[in-house]
């Protein structure tokens, strides 16, 4: 701690072993260096990377927003998978060949003029080198050597020239990259060219969908006319696909309705009503996009209602006995009867006006509540 205090008095922080242990404890880590997986040494103002040898089990290291000018002291961190060095003062990439398990490397917002040494990282999958000073093709010439690189961010640099595109297109597994903020973005038909050259590409400053890939590849084969024809064919294929899906859905729906009717028939021991069964079958027979003005694009989203309760009632009525004739004595049931008043209840008194209303009946006398009896 004394060394730490002396460093603070000099106006700078140093990565002393005591200070690193203190940071680990503050970040809910462990005082024993080998037990820490994540090392949060960012926003500390460290000018140099040092004293990291005991942290051999570290998987992720945060060193952004310090005053680092060199990459050093990482030889013992062979298990490191994520390294964050953004917002420092790095001028070159060095001493990273030992990071054989590194997957993610962030070196954005530095002073790099060349991506050197990244070809020695066999497991590197994500590289963020935005907001640096990368210029021509020599600055990115090692990209084809990154066998596992899938995501690349080179935005806001000074990249220009066809060699840059050649290096990017030569990355074997690259599926996403960003070039916004570079002079190379003014290259004519840049997006179509890269889509044609990289069959696995899925993102170039924005997502690449199937329609754009089909038209871009057609443009690469036959120019603008081929692109227009490919776009029309793709749209027609999408419409036909929607019609086929609608027809399959309608057939499945009719089969389910028929299956339900058969189940009701088995439960009630009678045959299914003919019109109901024929109606279910008629829903899929002769249905075409133009027959009887049917809009197949809406059929899949407009469910048809089937009144199963009413169908069950009809099936039950078929087993019921026939009704009696109108002349039978047993069928002579009065339709309505006037309610008979009880003999003890007086008949109602007609009231023609408010003055004809009878006076209210006084409440019955309850023994024990008369105040005269209290005297």
Apex 114 CA angle, 109 and 120, nearest 5: 105
By 3-state DSSP, what share of the chain in percent is helix, strand and coil, each rounded to 5?
Answer: 40, 5, 55
The two structure tokens encoding residue 289:
């996009």
DSSP code for 268: H
Residue 281: the pLDDT is: 52
Instruction: Name, in order, each residue with C-beta under 8 angstroms of 358's C-beta and a sequence gap of 6 or more.
Output: 349
Residue 267: the pLDDT is: 87
Distance of CA 155 to the CA centre of its chain: 26
Residue 175: the pLDDT is: 97
Instruction: Name, in order, each residue with C-beta under 8 angstroms of 70's C-beta and a sequence gap of 6 or more.
Output: 48, 49, 90, 94, 95
Chunked mean pLDDT (size 10), the chain, 375 residues: 44 86 95 96 94 96 95 95 97 94 97 94 97 95 95 96 95 96 94 95 95 95 94 95 96 94 85 56 49 44 45 48 50 46 52 52 53 46
Residue 321: the pLDDT is: 56
Instruction: Name, in order, each residue with C-beta under 8 angstroms of 66's C-beta and a sequence gap of 6 or more.
Output: 41, 42, 43, 44, 45, 46, 47, 88
Contact 195, 212 (CB under 8 A): yes
Task: Count the Cβ atoms, other than its own, within 10 Å of residue 184.
Answer: 17
Model confidence, pTM: 0.67
Contact 149, 129 (CB under 8 A): no
Q: CA 191 to CA 56: how far, in whole Å?
A: 44
Residue 302: the pLDDT is: 41
Residue 117: the pLDDT is: 92
Q: Sign of dihedral through CA atoms 349, 351, 354, 355?
A: negative
Contact 184, 155 (CB under 8 A): no
Look-up: residue for tokens 């809910």? 28
Residue 88: the pLDDT is: 96
Residue 13: the pLDDT is: 85
Identify the helix (H) or strand (E) that includes residue 83: strand 82-84
Backbone angles phi, psi at 276, to 5 degrees: -65, -40
Q: CA 40 to CA 43: how far, in whole Å?
A: 9
Angle between helices 162-169 and 190-197 (to 10 degrees): 30
Instruction: Name, in order, each residue with C-beta under 8 angstroms of 273's C-beta and a sequence gap of 6 or more.
Output: 311, 314, 315
Q: Where are the alpha helices (DSSP H) in 128-269?
A: 162-169, 190-197, 210-268
């Amino acid at each position: 701690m004394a060394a730490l205090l002396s460093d603070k008095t000099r106006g700078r922080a140093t990565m002393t072993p005591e200070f690193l242990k203190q940071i680990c404890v503050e970040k809910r880590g462990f005082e024993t260096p080998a037990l820490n997986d994540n090392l949060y040494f960012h926003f500390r103002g460290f000018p140099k990377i040092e004293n990291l040898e005991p942290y051999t089990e570290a998987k992720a290291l945060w060193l952004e927003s310090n005053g680092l000018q060199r990459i050093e002291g990482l030889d013992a961190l062979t298990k490191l998978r994520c390294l964050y060095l953004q917002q420092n003062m790095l001028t070159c990439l060095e001493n990273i060949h030992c990071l054989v398990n590194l997957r993610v490397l962030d070196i954005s917002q530095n002073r790099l003029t060349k991506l050197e040494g990244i070809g020695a990282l066999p497991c590197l999958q994500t590289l963020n080198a935005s907001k640096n000073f990368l210029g021509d093709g020599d600055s990115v010439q090692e990209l084809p050597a990154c066998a596992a690189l899938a995501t690349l961010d080179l935005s806001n640099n000074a990249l220009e020239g066809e060699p840059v595109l050649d290096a990017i297109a030569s990355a074997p597994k690259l599926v996403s990259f960003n070039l916004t903020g570079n002079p190379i973005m003014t290259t004519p038909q840049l997006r179509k060219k890269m889509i044609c050259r990289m069959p696995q590409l899925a993102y170039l400053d924005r997502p690449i969908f199937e329609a754009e890939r089909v038209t871009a590849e057609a443009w690469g084969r036959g120019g603008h006319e081929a692109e227009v024809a490919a776009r029309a064919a793709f749209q027609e294929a999408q419409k036909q696909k929607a019609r086929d899906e609608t027809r399959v859905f309608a057939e499945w729906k009719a089969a389910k309705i028929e299956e339900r009717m058969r189940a009701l028939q088995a439960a009630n021991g009678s045959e299914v009503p003919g019109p109901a069964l024929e109606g279910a079958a008629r829903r899929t027979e002769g249905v075409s996009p133009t027959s009887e003005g049917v809009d197949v694009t809406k059929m899949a989203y407009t469910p048809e209602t089937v009144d199963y309760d009413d169908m069950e009632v009809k099936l039950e009525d078929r087993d019921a006995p026939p009704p009696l004739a109108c002349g039978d004595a047993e069928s002579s049931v009065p339709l309505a009867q006037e309610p008979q008043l009880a003999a003890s209840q007086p008949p109602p008194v007609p009231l023609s006006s408010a003055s004809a209303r009878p006076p209210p009946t006084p409440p019955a006398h309850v023994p024990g509540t008369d105040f005269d009896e209290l005297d």
